[in-house]
Amino acid sequence: MQKKKVVFLISSLAGGGAEGVCVNITNGLAEQGWQVTLLVLHMNNSVYHDKVSDKVDIQILGINHARKSLFSLRSWIIDNKPQKIVAFNYELTVLLVLIRYTIRKPFSIITRNINTISKTTKHTKGIWRKFIVNKLINIFYPKADHIVNQCQGMKNDLLTVFPFIENKCSVIYNPINKVVENYARAINFSKVVKENYILCIGRLEEQKAFHHAIQAFSEIIDIFPYLRLKIVGQGSLENHLKALVQKLGISHRVDFEGFQSDVKPYYLHAKLTLLTSLYEGFPNILVESITLGTPVVAFDCPNGPREIIQNNINGILVPFGDIARLKEGLVSVIQGDYYHLNSVIETSKPYNTGKLVSLWNDLLIKFGGFN
């Protein structure tokens, strides 16, 4: 019987959304009979290492940055002769395309679009990334054999940048984090007690725009005297955000929780989960929140919230950047008694891990390479 083989390539197994999705998909494919190799540049801060199935073969290049990995990656490909590689970021895709030009043994390149590309290139900082990496992405990224987008909005955005690649683009939503999915199955939701806090989760960086969440929260605290804001995550803007909280006089109502390896209890007991990002690829936190029965409020940013949120069923979608409407949305969800737990959870069904891994299975089969 022919074996189905595939290599997934990712920079690390740190605690980000992309890493979690990669582990979810590789584990799922291994369960479906694929011989999966997970090729990782380095293992620094490998939060997800112990979540990888024993059926997945982890191999490590030992290189800290994608830009330094060209020759090591090329040697690995020559030695191992993979037939198809799934890349989990833009830079790794560029490297694979360049390597393919230089070797005799061809291989298929499938890449997962990781963000709203028109926004990420616009907001790029640093001379290397802005003037070198972005140029290489524009030239070589569309030369991948297939590009998987995390939502329809992301695909539409990609096609505004590369309108000539529509025939090799598809949409596969991110599957629910398997740990969250299993946790939800084991919970007796009737015994869950909601606590008086709004939850924000993410990197404390410009893209996540937590200052909007803080501003909106500051305008509703008089309505809800016991309500708190919990911000889970770390990043370069932590001190800036703490200064804003102090300036607004709400330090006694805002908790900076730092990075948490287990955020499930935060979702479970929150009144709601709030997202105020400038842009997203696909906001996994919204899916994880509704999986655990907690409604969401989010800006209608590009991309993802519009495809996840069903107004007044699992939350409220707010016009992008409108703080007044954001405030109204928060008040509405907190006071609303029409958010039925089962209805919120039901809206997470499109992101079932088994269903979405099967879509990856079907896609990879199209690229053959069995032996």
Q: Where are the domains of the chain?
A: 5-175+352-367, 178-350
Beta bridge mates, 275 = 298
Q: What is the pLDDT of residues 15-55, one digit of tens each?
A: 788 999 999 999 999 999 999 999 999 998 888 899 999 99
| CATH of segment(s) 5-175+352-367 | 3.40.50.2000
pTM of the model: 0.90
Length of the chain: 371
Q: Out of 1.10.8.640, 3.10.450.710, 3.40.50.2000, 3.40.50.1370, which CATH number does the structure's domain 178-350 have?
A: 3.40.50.2000
Q: What is the pLDDT of residues 53-112, one digit of tens each?
A: 999 999 999 999 888 899 999 999 999 999 999 999 999 999 999 999 999 888 999 999
Q: Are 278 and 320 in contact (CB under 8 A)?
A: no
Whether the per-residue pLDDT at 334 is higher than 70: the answer is: yes
CA–CA dist 364, 367 (Å, integer): 5
Q: Can you tell me the mean pLDDT for 336-361?
A: 92
Element (H, E) at 136: helix 134-140
Which tokens hold the place of 258? Answer: 């730092």
Nearest to 363 by CA among 172, 173, 178, 174: 172
Coil, helix or strand for 71?
A: helix
Q: What is the pLDDT of residue 335?
A: 93
Q: What is the pLDDT of residue 195?
A: 96
Which tokens hold the place of 197? Answer: 């806090």
Q: What is the pLDDT of residue 325?
A: 97
Q: Provide the pLDDT confidence category of residue 131 given band limits of 50, 70 and 90.
A: low
- What average pLDDT does the structure give for the chain? 93
Q: What is the pLDDT of residue 46?
A: 87
Long-range pairs for 238-241: beta carbons < 8 A, 24 or more residues apart: 238/204, 241/204, 241/210, 241/211, 241/214
Sign for the pseudo-dihedral over CA of 267, 271, 276, 279: positive
Whether the per-residue pLDDT at 1 is higher than 80: the answer is: no
DSSP tag of 311: B
Packing angle, helices 70-80 and 90-102, rounded to 10: 60
Q: Provide the pLDDT confidence category of residue 313 given band limits of 50, 70 and 90.
A: very high
Which residue stretches of 270-340 are H helix?
284-291, 305-308, 323-335
Distance of CA 63 to the CA centre of its chain: 23
Nearest to 177 by CA among 285, 267, 87: 285
